[in-house]
Amino acid sequence: MNEQLRIKAHCMGQSIAWAFANPEIEPDARSSACIEALTKRLARGEPLAYLLEKAEFHEVSLKVNASVLVPRPETELLVELARDEVVHGGRVLELGTGSGAIALALAGARPDVDITATDVCEKALQCARENARRLGQALTFLCADWFAGIEGGFDAILSNPPYVASDDACLTRPPLTFEPRRALDGGIGGLEALRRIIENALPRLTSDGMLALEHGFDQGAEVREMLEKGGYVRIATLHDLAGHERVSWGRRA
């Protein structure tokens, strides 16, 4: 849907359907100033989700701000995988939750599952907690640096960690320059966070538990190799709608 129309609807406090149906109704002075300001920010490449302070993800509507990554459609693969694979009443850990997108979408799809979501950034956790409150979901949120202080016993560990290589030029261009670098920059080759998670998740899984990770379109082979070396079995990769390898997963047994 047209970005300008969304901005207009947002600034006029109306729905997008209303803005679409009433193109002749002029915004008042305050709304016009808002439209002008947001249009300028859009032109500089800032993600629309930050301008509107919200994003749709899977079946949930989330508040977002510059402390969290804008949820991407391809990340819904992780939600769908966990929705379909986690045993009834299972325990799930999501690492680096940001806005809470993955954990909250999963909570909506699988109310029987017990979810813990972590982030190293307090501001991100504030955003995730606020989203949980608005959606009426009681998850456990923890401030943690990957697995620090996290005990085991999870049926699934999920993460969309930072996986862009530090020297990838896209980090220096909009829209990524507007997003938290820490949520994007995966170090040399983009694999540092992925490796750290793979190396530490296994003992925290139940015997049949799974680790599922989002990764870059060209990182599938390396992630599968790390999973194999790390002792995971039944390793597989899912493709996103663009046909790219996007989520790889393996089980403890």
**Contacts with ligand GLN, residue ranges (CB under 6 A):** 72, 160-164, 176, 184
> Closest separation between CB of residue 223 and ligand GLN, Å?
13
> Closest separation between CB of residue 96 and ligand GLN, Å?
8
Nearer to ligand GLN, 12 or 121 (CB): 121
Residues 68/180, Cβ–Cβ less than 8 Å: yes
Residue with tokens 């940001």: 98
Nearer to ligand GLN, 34 or 101 (CB): 101
Helix (H) or strand (E) holding 142: strand 140-143
> Closest separation between CB of residue 48 and ligand GLN, Å?
14
Residue 139 is classified by DSSP as -
Tokens, residue 227: 């999973």
Nearer to ligand GLN, 9 or 125 (CB): 125
Q: What are phi and psi for residue 119, nearest 5 degrees? A: -155, 150
* Cross-strand pairs, 142: 118
Residues 182/119, Cβ–Cβ less than 8 Å: no
3-state secondary structure of 130: helix
Nearer to ligand GLN, 9 or 193 (CB): 193
Nearer to ligand GLN, 27 or 189 (CB): 189
> Closest separation between CB of residue 215 and ligand GLN, Å?
8
> Closest separation between CB of residue 141 and ligand GLN, Å?
19
